[in-house]
Amino acid sequence: MPEITLPTDHSTDPSLVIITNHLTKEFNGVAAVNEISLTVPRGKIFGFIGPSGCGKTTAVRLLVGTHQPTSGEVTVLGRAPQQFRRQDREKIGYMPQQFVLYPDLTVRQNLNFAASLYGLGWRERRASLVAMLELVELSEHAHKIARNISGGMQRRLSLASTMMHDPELLFLDEPTAGVDPILRNKFWDYFRTLREKGHTLFITTQYVNEAAYCDYVGVMANGRLLTVDTPAGLRHNAIGGDILLMQLDQPLPMEKFLALTDLPFVSGEINPVGDNTWRIVVEDASVALPELMEWTQTAALDVVSLREDQPSFDDVFLKLMQEEDRDN
Amino acid sequence: MITNTLRAITRIWAFVSKEWAEVMHQPRLLLTLIIGPFLILLLFGIGYQDESRTLRTLFVVPENSPMQEWIETYSEQFKGQLEFVGITHDADEADRRLRNQDVDLVVVVPMDPSKGINNNEQAVLTLYHHEIDPYEEAYVRVLGRIYTDKINEQVLIFVAEQGKVEAESLQEQTELALTSVTMLREALEEGDTAAASSSQQELHNSVAFLRLATTSSLAFLGAIEQTSGVPMDGETQLILTYLNSLQENIDTLSQLDADTADFSAEIALTQEIEIELDKATILLIDFQRIDSHILVSPFRSEVVSITSVTLQPIHFFVPAVISLLLQHMAVTIAALSLVRERRSGAMELFRASPVSAFETLTGKYISHFFLAGLLATVLTLLIIYVLKVPMLGDWGEYILVLAALLFTSLGMGFNFSLSARTDSQAVQSSMILLLASIFFAGFFLALYRFWWPVHIVSWALPATYSTSLLQNAMLRGQGVSLVLLLALTGIGILLFFMAWLRLKREMASE
């Protein structure tokens, strides 16, 4: 389980492309982003998950430099966004939440414009244009007016225009919002392709299940960063361990239930989930699974099935939110 | 360094090509931008009628007034300006009809004009109207003045005609004097002093009467000479000189000595008198020949423009209309430009990208400048070749003025755009500017009509400069005023820098 740590000297670690330390942004005295501290390693997908209005977009704007922090520190590609030079901005791609391209221009003209903003010459643009149109599967629609293509195509066009200048670091603000599940999967395929090519992606999303596609996940609520972890680590920490599902061919007697709770590898609650099936929270599923099988045999219990269960990220997210509410 | 410059040019060009592509994808918009202004001008050209208004006029004349006949006769002379509705004796009825707008003008003739004149007072013709437009009211005032001038002229013509009748009798007196002087000479030649004395007395009486009558009859002619300061062939003076000389010569002949045998000196004198009387007769005949209208209105004016072409009323308005239309168009497209980028969220994209405020603004300036320039070209061609508006000046200077106008108007538009939060706010700003320009840029009211502080507003409007510059260039064929052109360009440069700084601030981090 990889550990996300904050190095002592941020600027000297080239493996970290984003570093924030108590980053805060207030609007009229209200904190939209509240003391966020995180690091994002190079060549990874960092997912930023949280409910609508929790401060994800503000956080992205602080990272791309369109917003100035009220307090705290932020370093992106080794430099504070407020001090970005042109060369720094050329390494960054930013896809805002809404479709901000020009509806009266064709797909090709929009991509050309986006690339020109980054100073790409005609030859570079031409090469990149073909590649991007292919990547987002819009080659056949290149000459269509942007307003006449579907919403999904517009999102793909936005994504392609963000990538036209081949940025090192991509900030994608809810790229899959309002996109159908099939296209959403395609998007994540693109993102993985980009990661394989060495790009770093900072992606915000409302879809909790998309956390599973990220290398690291930051969970935000009410402007605060609740946790940063790998998807597996997030799940483990939220639930308090791994989950085993055990189905018996008969009801579990009380003395056996009590003996089960006393087992050393059981770290959390044991709850019935119906049809003689029990949900057991254990420290480590890989260790607990054989030991539990052995205990059932000793206890003369007939097991129909015994397996590890992966709780959905909805459950994980819900749990984290409940904890956040309780803390508040 | 070169790479950076090339990249900057690429970024500027990104905006130029983007703006053009957006316009090209909206052919209807393009057509409206080109054809719309021209149609407005065309309609103005066709619709504008340079004709004076005919006022339906009712006369209120007291019963049995001698003026009634005169009014009926002379109303014909004002056919273009007055439509003779009729004559009434009832002032209340006239008032009611004026209030009901059945008539436009009521002229009330004084009860007894001669009484006032005898009392050393002018007789007053009162013109009642119901106009609310100050220009129409001024028109009524001018018409009233012309009308009374005409009446006064008719009175003078009458007096002049009387003078000419008197001159006719003078001619008869001259002929009598001639007969007397001939008889005098013959009597002197025969040495008949008694007959000579009798003839001399007759001659003396005739010339004395001539002197008296001529002085008053020639008063008109004398007045003309006095007013102009230049004698009209010195005719008046000549006649009077001849008559004075005649009088002196005749007085010399009054002392005839009956004992003298030689009257050769007196005979020579009578011959001289004959010649002078002949000359006086010729002059009096000349005086009679002068038309009474010319006598009472010896002067008239002729207006000749030193421009080489005849200018129609529409021609005067065209430079102002071009200025207003191009200013409005440039201001509006620029005003909407940045607001839309901001509202669509594209501005956020620019802020995160390497594009600078200078590059953004320059790109937009260039694209809008050439777009507006294209429209200005088409508009100019249509005006010159379809509306046949003359272009007397230099085309290069014309282009310079339009370039300065567009540059400055775009600056104004971009500054509006940076202040506006919505499209409608941007459009409202450009509409207010248009309204201000219609009133204060010299479109239909000359600048001198305004109180001086208002001139500050006038000279803050690009259209004020271009209207003045284009009028001189197009209609007078004069070179453009460098001061005005530089002032207009200076404002444009100032607005560019203002817009640049404001955009820079907007594109910086919040």
Judged by a CB distance cut-off of 8 A, whether residue A66 touches chain B is: yes
Judged by a CB distance cut-off of 8 A, whether residue A96 touches chain B is: yes
Judged by a CB distance cut-off of 8 A, whether residue B300 touches chain A is: no
Task: Kindly report, residue by residue over A189-228, the tens digit of the pLDDT.
Answer: 989 999 999 999 999 988 888 888 999 999 998 899 988 9
Contacts of A119 in chain B (CB under 8 A): 6-8, 10-11, 354
pLDDT at B225: 59
| Percent of chain A whose pLDDT exceeds 90 | 53
- Tell me the average pLDDT across B263-272: 82
CA distances from A65 to A90, A94, A169, B353, B508 (A): 13, 11, 13, 10, 9
Of residues B40 and A157, more confidently modeled:
A157
**Phi/psi of residue A261, nearest 5 degrees:** -65, -25
Residue whose C-alpha is closest to residue A172's, from A66, A78, A97: A97
Q: Assign A7 a pLDDT band (cuts: 50, 70, 90).
A: very low
Q: Which residues contact B146 (CB under 8 A, 6 or more apart)?
A: B81
For B123-182, the DSSP string reads ---EEEE---SHHHHHHHHHHHHHHHHHHHHHHHHHHHHHHHHHHHHHHHHHHHHHHHHH
Contacts of A79 in chain B (CB under 8 A): none
Instruction: Tell me which H or E stretch contains B57.
Output: strand B55-60
Task: Kindly report, residue by residue over A69-98, the tens digit of the pLDDT.
Answer: 999 999 999 999 999 999 999 999 999 988
- Tell me the average pLDDT across A278-301: 90
3-state secondary structure of B60: strand
Angle of the B395-419 helix axis to the B357-385 helix axis, nearest 10: 130
| Nearest Cα residue in chain B from A80 | B509
To the nearest whole Å, the CA of A167 is away from the closest chain B CA by 11
CB contact under 8 A, B354 and A116: no
Q: Assign B226 a pLDDT band (cuts: 50, 70, 90).
A: low
Is residue B113 a contact partner of residue B67, using CB atoms and an 8 Å limit? yes
Judged by a CB distance cut-off of 8 A, whether residue A68 touches chain B is: yes
Judged by a CB distance cut-off of 8 A, whether residue B27 touches chain A is: no
CB contact under 8 A, A65 and B509: yes
Instruction: Tell me which H or E stretch contains B85.
Output: strand B82-88
Contacts of A25 in chain B (CB under 8 A): none
Judged by a CB distance cut-off of 8 A, whether residue B355 touches chain A is: yes
Please, is A235 exposed, middle or buried when counting C-beta atoms within 10 Å of its C-beta (0-12, 13-18, 19+)? buried
Cα distance between the two ends of chain B: 30
Task: Kindly report, residue by residue over B22-47, the tens digit of the pLDDT.
Answer: 888 877 877 777 778 778 878 877 88
| Nearest Cα residue in chain B from A122 | B10
Judged by a CB distance cut-off of 8 A, whether residue B50 touches chain A is: no
Mean pLDDT (chain B) is 85
Of B10, B348, B354, the CB nearest to A89: B354
Judged by a CB distance cut-off of 8 A, whether residue A295 touches chain B is: no
Of A67, A102, A105, the CB nearest to B509: A67
CB contact under 8 A, A117 and B11: yes
Reported ipTM: 0.81
Of B18, B348, B351, the CB nearest to A105: B18
Judged by a CB distance cut-off of 8 A, whether residue A146 touches chain B is: no
This prediction's pTM:
0.75
CB contact under 8 A, A94 and B344: no
Of B14, B22, B510, the CB nearest to A117: B14
